Amino acid sequence: MKQEQLPPEDEAAEVAPGVLRIQLPIFLPGLGHVNCYVLEDATGVTLVDPGLPGPDAHHELVSRLLRAGIPIERVHTVLVTHSHPDHFGGAGRLHAEQHCKVVAHTQFITPFDQGDNAIEGDLIELQDNQSPARPNMLQELLFGEGEIPDIPGRETPWGGEPLLPPAEQLEYMRSWDSISKQGLLSLTPTVRVADNEVLRLGRTEWQVVHTPGHTDDHICLFDPVNGTLLSGDHVLPTITPHISGMLPESDSLSQFFAALQRVGALEGVTQVLPAHGLPFEDLQGRVEAIIEHHKDRLELLFQIALELEGAPVKEYSQRLFKERSWGPMAESETYAHLEHLRQDGRLSSFRDPEGILRYQTSP
């Protein structure tokens, strides 16, 4: 079993100077827990990635903090490394109940937001009444009665099936208590940060390192004094993170490679604390292994293209991934790799009469 698939440990552990780790259960493909890091100062604590949304996840967070001697009322700040629910999910309720700050990258936007919420500039404080508009469909989903309405999925650039939450997940969300629903709807960062900014979290100053590829808004945090890197999902110990094909940048894999090389070149990193899995030390070695993995996938995909000539992304994804992984996420990552090969001049693409994107080897 991969480290990232292990069930959560019951007790908190100090994993670096000034950094306590609690592991929260999650139920996502290939993952058994998410690491929530606790940074304590004289007035309370900052949480990094407080886990999934919903009442069950909140109960786990509260009880595990209490076992570590930390009442939830001491949480004054939450930082989310990126816009995936197992990382930002618990932040909205904490903000609603504890009135804590929520810190995220300038480009942070959840799948439930409408429009572009990116704010340019340095550290920016937002007022509570500056919440952006939320789509009516999510309000209707969470607070409506009767049958769940049809929800339009997010269109994919390759023309595949829209990205939709599973029906059982939608049913579960409707069963939540009101504060959990409102916490998900009202999640707007109160502090947005940009690359290279320095934040005082806990008793330490942390450098923000923008690392797109897994998502557009992913950030790592680096403590140069103690040599600690909070790597989020950007660098994981035994699995490679999903590379999204849904980012504004068409070659998200190139973005990811550049961000990996950047963190690998950070001087003085002695301890890496990932969002899933266990701490590790050899950051440069892990960076090289992840890059090599994706280069191998690119070569495999090119060989598949020699056979499939002019096939859609879905067909490529079903050759690249095992059947248990077929679906929108596999298609998204396959698209990201196909686009990388296209921009590298090794593949070309065209749209068929139905608007479906197809790839073939370049003439």
The reply to whether 54 and 188 lie within a common domain is yes
Percent pLDDT > 70 in the chain is: 88
User: Is the pLDDT reported for residue 198 higher than 50?
Assistant: yes
The reply to whether 205 and 332 lie within a common domain is no
User: Is the pLDDT reported for residue 363 higher than 90?
Assistant: no
Span 282-340, pLDDT tens digits: 999 999 999 999 999 999 999 999 999 899 999 999 999 999 888 888 999 999 999 99
CATH of the domain at 304: 1.10.10.10
DSSP state of 43: T
Of 226, 253, 283, the residue that ends a domain is 283
What is the total count of domains within the chain? Answer: 2
Average pLDDT over residues 75-100: 95
The reply to whether 246 and 348 lie within a common domain is no
Average pLDDT over residues 208-214: 97
User: Is the pLDDT reported for residue 272 higher than 70?
Assistant: yes
CATH of the domain at 97: 3.60.15.10
- 51 vs 168 pLDDT, higher one: 51
Span 8-61, pLDDT tens digits: 999 999 999 999 999 999 988 889 999 999 999 999 999 999 999 999 999 999
The reply to whether 141 and 266 lie within a common domain is yes
Average pLDDT over residues 160-185: 80
Of 250, 283, 316, the residue that ends a domain is 283
Of 259, 283, 307, the residue that ends a domain is 283
> Rounded to 5 degrees, what are φ and ψ at 65?
-65, -40
**Residue found by looking up tokens 């552990």 in the block:** 13
Examine residue 288 and state whether it is found in any structural domain, yes or no: no
> In the chain, helix, strand, coil percent, each to 5?
35, 25, 40
pLDDT interval class at 1 (50, 70, 90) = confident
Average pLDDT over residues 176-202: 91
User: Is the pLDDT reported for residue 122 higher than 50?
Assistant: no
Asked if residue 52 lies in contact with residue 26, where contact means CB atoms within 8 angstroms, the answer is: yes
pLDDT at 317 (0 to 100): 96
pLDDT at 137 (0 to 100): 62
DSSP state of 353: T
3-state secondary structure of 182: helix
User: Is the pLDDT reported for residue 355 higher than 70?
Assistant: yes
The reply to whether 341 and 261 lie within a common domain is no
The reply to whether 253 and 110 lie within a common domain is yes
- 138 vs 196 pLDDT, higher one: 196
The reply to whether 258 and 299 lie within a common domain is no
Domain range enclosing 308: 294-361
User: Is the pLDDT reported for residue 346 higher than 90?
Assistant: yes
pLDDT at 268 (0 to 100): 97
> Rounded to 5 degrees, what are φ and ψ at 85?
-60, -30
3-state secondary structure of 141: helix
User: Is the pLDDT reported for residue 135 higher than 80?
Assistant: no
Burial class (CB in 10 A: 0-12, 13-18, 19+), 181: buried
Average pLDDT over residues 79-91: 95
Most confident of 69-78, 185-194, 245-254: 69-78
Asked if residue 66 lies in contact with residue 188, where contact means CB atoms within 8 angstroms, the answer is: no
Examine residue 273 and state whether it is found in any structural domain, yes or no: yes
CA angle, residues 87, 77, 193, in degrees to nearest 5? 75
pLDDT at 132 (0 to 100): 39
The reply to whether 170 and 317 lie within a common domain is no
pLDDT at 126 (0 to 100): 32
75-84, 145-154, 172-181, 329-338: range with lowest mean pLDDT: 145-154
pLDDT at 285 (0 to 100): 97
- 324 vs 76 pLDDT, higher one: 76
The reply to whether 194 and 273 lie within a common domain is yes
The reply to whether 274 and 312 lie within a common domain is no
Q: Mean pLDDT in the chain?
A: 89
Examine residue 304 and state whether it is found in any structural domain, yes or no: yes
pLDDT at 38 (0 to 100): 98
Examine residue 13 and state whether it is found in any structural domain, yes or no: yes
132-141, 153-162, 235-244: range with lowest mean pLDDT: 132-141
User: Is the pLDDT reported for residue 139 higher than 80?
Assistant: no
The reply to whether 255 and 171 lie within a common domain is yes
Asked if residue 226 lies in contact with residue 269, where contact means CB atoms within 8 angstroms, the answer is: no
pLDDT at 113 (0 to 100): 61
Examine residue 289 and state whether it is found in any structural domain, yes or no: no
pTM: 0.90
How far, in Å, CA of 144 to CA of 170, rounded?
12
The reply to whether 163 and 275 lie within a common domain is yes
Examine residue 221 and state whether it is found in any structural domain, yes or no: yes
